[in-house]
């Protein structure tokens, strides 16, 4: 879904940054890199910093002008600091990807990043449909070039994944794939009944004055979404405790 997105770097000074950008892109599944008059490319420094994203570097297009870089694009986004003389529609990365990703089939997107020291010129910024600003500390606002590309490509990937996710899929609240099936409500209910009985057995819980003990325990365990094995382990502990008592009596 990110095939129609290209990253355009204008007049990059440090080849290491080009390598860092390539790595960030490949990490996030973005593949098209276009370099407008880079100071030094190809470069060993770029290859080193790419940490193996050499395919991105090898297929990068090097061009002379921003015009050439934008050929065929219908949605041009310029990375920008705040406070230009003529304001342009400025979005944060989240808002940008929420706009772009649902329509990637119709769009050819260019994300344009400027020079390390001065960013994009006003003329370059005025070629853009949108400017994107990464909300940063006003007293220290300039991100490293590869870090800025990382943030944008990360947001793109997150949005693609969110769009692909089936909202009806039931997931534990931590959102991960687990190796064991989660315990069912029935199994948990049996666990709590077993627990309550065991607590009575050991004289910890007074059935005539239970207060909120079981409520607190339920809340504790339910919060963690126990899986089937964990429930078996807990019940094993309870059973072992009860057996110990039987022996004593």
Q: Does 161 bind a copy of itself (CB under 8 A)?
A: yes
Interface pick for a copy of itself out of 126, 178, 206, 219 (rule CB under 8 A): 178
Binding string to a copy of itself for residues 4 to 43, with x set by CB under 8 A, is what? ----------------x--xx-xxxx--------------
Read off the DSSP letter of residue 184.
P
Q: Does 189 bind a copy of itself (CB under 8 A)?
A: no
* Torsion, Cα of 169, 174, 180, 186 (10° steps): -70
Which of these segments, 38-46, 127-135, 188-196, 237-245, binds a copy of itself (CB under 8 A)? 127-135
Strand 130-132 to strand 90-91: parallel, antiparallel, or no bridges (unpaired)? parallel
Q: Encoding tokens for residue 234? A: 């807990």
Task: Report which of 135, 249, 149 is spatially closest to residue 201, judged by C-alpha positions.
Answer: 249
Q: Encoding tokens for residue 208? A: 């005539």
Residues in the interface with a copy of itself (CB under 8 A) total 43
Strand 109-113 to strand 5-10: parallel, antiparallel, or no bridges (unpaired)? parallel
Q: Does 72 bind a copy of itself (CB under 8 A)?
A: no
Read off the DSSP letter of residue 175.
-
Residues that bind a copy of itself (CB under 8 A): 20, 23-24, 26-29, 51-53, 87, 89-92, 94-95, 130, 133-137, 140-144, 146-147, 150-151, 154, 157-158, 161, 172, 174-179
């Amino acid at each position: 879904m990110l095939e129609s997105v290209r990253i355009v770097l204008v007049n990059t000074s440090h080849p290491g940054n080009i390598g860092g950008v390539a790595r960030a892109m490949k990490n996030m599944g973005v593949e098209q890199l276009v370099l407008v008059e880079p100071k030094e490319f190809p470069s060993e420094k770029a290859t080193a910093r790419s940490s193996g994203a050499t395919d991105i570097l090898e297929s990068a297009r090097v061009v002379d002008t921003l015009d050439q870089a934008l050929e065929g694009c219908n949605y041009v986004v310029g990375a920008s600091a705040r406070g230009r003389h003529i304001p342009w529609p400025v979005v944060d990365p989240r808002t940008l990807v929420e706009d772009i990703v649902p329509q990637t089939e119709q769009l050819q997107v260019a994300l344009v990043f400027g020079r390390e020291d001065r960013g994009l010129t006003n003329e370059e910024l005025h070629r853009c449909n949108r400017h994107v600003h990464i909300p940063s500390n006003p007293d220290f606002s300039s991100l490293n070039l590869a870090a800025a590309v990382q943030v944008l490509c990360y947001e793109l990937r997150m949005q693609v994944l969110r769009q692909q996710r089936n909202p009806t899929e039931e997931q534990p609240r931590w959102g991960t794939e687990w190796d064991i099936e989660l315990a069912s409500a029935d199994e948990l209910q049996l666990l709590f009944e077993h627990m309550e009985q065991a607590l009575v057995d050991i004289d910890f819980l007074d059935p005539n004055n239970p207060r909120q003990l079981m409520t607190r325990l339920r809340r504790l365990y339910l919060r963690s979404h126990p899986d089937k094995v964990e429930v078996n382990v807990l019940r094993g502990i309870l059973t072992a405790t009860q057996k110990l008592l039987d022996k004593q009596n």
